[in-house]
A and B are shown apart, each in its own frame.
Chain A
Amino acid sequence: MIKFILAALAVGIAAGYVNNNLASMIAGNWITSYLFNASLYLLLFVMGLSFGIDKEAVAKLKSTGLRVLIVPFLVALGSILGGLVGGLIFRLNIFSSMAVTAGYGWYTLAGPVLVQILGGEWGALGFATNFLRELLTIVTISSMVKVDKYAPVASGGATTMDTTLPVIVRYCGSDVLITAFSSGFVLSIIAPFTVIAFASLT
C-alpha cells in the first residue's frame, strides 16, 4: 500500500512542478485547494462512517479515556525536546529550533509564521522540518506500528487529524482513530501558540 502512496506523492509533485513551471494546463488551485479539501472532507466522512458503523466502537472509545489527554501532551513535550537537542547538534539558536519543531508537522502553519517572525531561512527550515515529519510518518509507518500501535500517532504530531489519519487508521486499526484525531486536534490548536512563543523568545 505504501508503494502506491509514495507513487501518488511522486506523481503529484511532478505534476505540480510541470503545471507550475513548464506548462500551465490547469489552474493549480483547483487541485491544491479544491481537490485537496474535497478529498480530505470525504475521507474524514468515510473514516467517521466506518467508526460509526462499528458496533464495538463505543467500547473502544471508553478504553481511550486518559490517552486522549496524555498523548498530545507527550508529543508536544517530545517535539520541543527534539528541537532543543537538534538546535544544540546543528549549532542553531535553541529557541528558534524549538519553534521549528513546535509546529508538530503542520508545515503550512510553521513555515509562514516563522518567515514572519524570524525571516526566510528559518521559514524554510520550519517548512522543510515539519513537512519531513509528515513524510517520514507516512514512509515509516509499517515499521513504526511494529514498535507500538500508538507510535505512528506520536510520530504524526498535528497531522494525525487530517493528512496522516487515513494511513494511520489503515495500519493501526480503527480503534486508534479517536486517539489519533484528538491528539492531532489538540496539537493543531496549540501549534500556533507554541511556534509563536518559542520564536518570540529568540
Chain B
Amino acid sequence: MLYLIVPLVAGILSGYLLRGRKHINLNKVTFGIILVLIFSLGFTIGSNNELLTSLPKVGLSALGMSVLAIGFSVLFVVLIKRRLRI
C-alpha cells in the first residue's frame, strides 16, 4: 500500500508548496495519463488468455454478481449518508 501512498502524499506536498503561484490547469495532463493507464489495463486483460477464455463461461453469473455487489454497496452508502447527513 505504501507504494501508492508515497506519490499521492508527494503530490499533495508539492501542490501545497506551489499554492499561490499562478493557476495551473492539470485537467488535460490528468486526462492524458488516464488514457495511458486505461490502455495498459486493457493490454493486461488482452494479454491474459485464461481470463479471455473464462469470460464467456462465467459471464452471466459474473455480471449478475457484480451488479448485485455494486447495487447493495451504492444503496447502503447513499441511504446511510442521507440518513446521517454526512
Contact = CB atoms under 8 A, between A and B. Distances in A.
The answer to whether A and B assemble together is yes
The size class of the interface chain A forms with chain B is 35 or more
A86 B61 contact: yes
Contact of A5 (B3, B24, B38): B38
A132 B18 CA distance: 39
Interface residues of B, number: 70
A130 B44 CA distance: 15
Contacts of A36: 37, 40-41, 43-44
B33 A43 contact: yes
Interface in A149-201: 150-151, 153-155, 157, 161-163, 166-167, 170, 181, 185, 188-189
Contacts of B41: 9, 12, 36, 163
Nearest to B27: A170
Nearest to B24: A53
Contacts of A150: 77-78, 81
Contacts of B80: 70, 74
Given A28-B43, A45-B10, A35 B63 contact: no
A150 B63 CA distance: 22
Interface in B26-41: 26-27, 29-31, 33-41
B77 to A, nearest CB: 4
Contacts, number: 291
A48 B34 contact: no
Interface string A8-49: 111111111111110000001001100110011111111111
Given A13-B45, A147-B74, A189-B1, A50 B15 contact: yes
A49 B15 contact: yes
Contacts of B39: 8-9, 11-12, 15
Interface of B: 1, 3-5, 7-19, 24, 26-27, 29-31, 33-52, 54-55, 57-59, 61-78, 80-81, 84, 86
Given A86-B64, A124-B50, A128-B58, 20 more contacts: A8-B42, A16-B42, A16-B47, A19-B43, A44-B11, A45-B11, A52-B11, A52-B15, A54-B15, A67-B81, A77-B72, A77-B76, A78-B72, A78-B77, A81-B72, A100-B65, A128-B59, A150-B81, A163-B41, A167-B34
21 contacts: A9-B39, A11-B42, A15-B39, A16-B43, A20-B49, A21-B49, A35-B40, A36-B43, A46-B26, A50-B30, A85-B68, A90-B61, A101-B68, A111-B51, A129-B66, A133-B70, A147-B74, A154-B74, A154-B77, A161-B4, A181-B8
